[in-house]
Chain A
Amino acid sequence: MEMVCIVCPNGCRLKVDNSAEGVKVAGAKCKRGEAFAQTELTNPMRSVTSSVKTTVKNYPVVSVRTDGEIPKSKIFDLIKELSEFTLDKKVPIGTILIKNVLNTGINVITTTEMI
Chain B
Amino acid sequence: MKHYDVIIIGGGPAGLAAAIRASKNASVLLIEREARLGGILKQCIHDGFGVVRFGEKLSGPEYADRFIKEIDKTNVEISLLSFVTDVTRTDKYELTYVCENGVRRVTCDKLILATGCRERTKNGIFIQGDRCSGVYTAGAAQNLVNMMGVMPGKRVVILGSGDIGLIMARRLTFEGAEVLGVYEAKPTPSGLTRNIHQCLRDFDIPLYLSKTVTRVFGANRLEKVEISDVDDKMRPIPGTEQIIECDTLVLAVGLIPENELANDLSVKLDYKTKGAIVDQNCQTLSDGIYACGNALHVNDLVDYVSESGETAGGNASLPNKERKLVPVEVKGKIMYIVPQMLDLNSPLDKVITYFRASEDLTGQKLTVKVGGQTVFNKSYLKLLPPEMERVVIDYSKADLSSGRIVISLEDK
Binding site for B on A (CB under 8 A): 4-6, 8-9, 11, 13, 46-47, 49-51, 53, 60-61, 63, 65, 72, 75, 79, 93-94, 111-113, 115
B94 adjacent to chain A (CB < 8 Å): no
Q: Which residues of B have CB within 8 Å of A53?
A: 149
> In the complex where A9-B300, A63-B59, A111-B45 touch, is A79 in contact with B174 (Cβ < 8 A)?
yes
Separation of A61 and B382 alpha carbons in the complex (Å): 41
Known A-B contacts A4-B193, A51-B45; the reply to A60 vs B148 at CB < 8 A is: yes
Question: Is residue B197 contacting chain A, with contact meaning CB distance below 8 A?
Answer: yes
Write the nearest CB–CB distance from B46 to chain A, whole angstroms.
5
Contact of A46 among B58, B59, B198, B300 (CB under 8 A): B198
Once the chains bind, are A60 and B202 in contact (CB under 8 Å)?
no
Q: Which of A6, A50, A51, A113 has the most CB of B within 10 A?
A: A6
- Name the one of A9, A49, A50, A61 contacting B192, with C-beta atoms under 8 angstroms: A9
Check A9–B174 contact: CB distance below 8 A.
no
A72–B202 CB distance below 8 A: yes
Which of B146, B192, B197, B387 interacts with A63 by CB under 8 Å? B146
- In the assembled complex, B48 has its CB within 8 A of some CB on chain A: yes
Contact B149 A46 (CB under 8 A): no
Inter-chain contact A9/B197, CB cutoff 8 Å: no
CB-CB < 8 A to A46: which residues of B? 198, 202
A111-B194 in contact (CB<8A): no
Further pairs besides A50-B171, A63-B45, A112-B61: 10, Cβ < 8 Å:
A5-B194, A8-B51, A8-B52, A46-B198, A51-B146, A61-B149, A75-B174, A79-B174, A111-B61, A113-B61
Minimal beta-carbon separation of A7 from chain B (angstroms): 8
Max chain A C-beta neighbours (<10 A), residue from B147, B150, B196 = B147
**B143 smallest CB distance to A (angstroms):** 12
Contact among B47, B65, B202, B301 with A113 in the assembled complex (CB-CB below 8 Å): B65
In the complex where A79-B174, A113-B68 touch, is A11 in contact with B382 (Cβ < 8 A)?
A: no
Q: Is B62 an interface residue (CB 8 A)?
A: yes
The answer to whether A11 and B46 touch (CB under 8 A), given A6-B198, A51-B149, is no
> Given A9-B301, A47-B47, do A61 and B194 touch, yes or no (CB 8 Å)?
no
Alpha-carbon gap, A112 to B42, bound state (A): 8
Q: A6-B197, A11-B192, A47-B47 are in contact. Are A93 and B382 (CB under 8 A)?
A: no
CB <8 Å contact, B193 and A11: yes
Given contacts A60-B148, A60-B149, A79-B174, whether A13 and B382 have CB atoms under 8 Å apart is: yes
Q: A50-B45, A61-B146 are in contact. Are A111 and B62 (CB under 8 A)?
A: yes
Which residues of A are found within 8 Å of B149, using beta-carbon distances? 51, 53, 60-61
User: Closest approach, in angstroms, between the C-beta of A28 and any C-beta of chain B?
Assistant: 12
The complex places the Cα of A57 from the Cα of B48 at a distance, in Å, of 29
User: Interface digits, B43-70 against A, CB 8 Å rule (1 contact, 0 not)?
Assistant: 0011110011000011101100100100
- Whether the pair A9, B68 counts as a contact (CB closer than 8 A) is no
Q: How far is the CA of A94 from the CA of B63 in the complex (A)?
A: 12
Which residues B97-146 have CB closer than 8 A to chain A? 146
Whole-angstrom CA separation of A13 from B383 in the bound complex: 12
Task: Collect the chain A residues with CB atoms within 8 Å of residue B192's CB.
Answer: 9, 11
Let me know if B36 is at the binding interface, CB within 8 A. Answer: yes
Q: Mark B19-40, 1 if CB is under 8 A from A, else 0.
A: 0000000000000000010000
The complex places the Cα of A53 from the Cα of B151 at a distance, in Å, of 13
Looking at B59, B196, B382, the one whose CB has the most chain A CB atoms below 10 A away is B59
Q: List 13 A-B contacts (CB under 8 A).
A: A5-B194, A8-B51, A8-B57, A9-B194, A9-B300, A9-B301, A46-B202, A49-B46, A50-B175, A61-B147, A63-B59, A93-B61, A113-B68
In angstroms, Cα B198 to Cα A63, docked, is 19
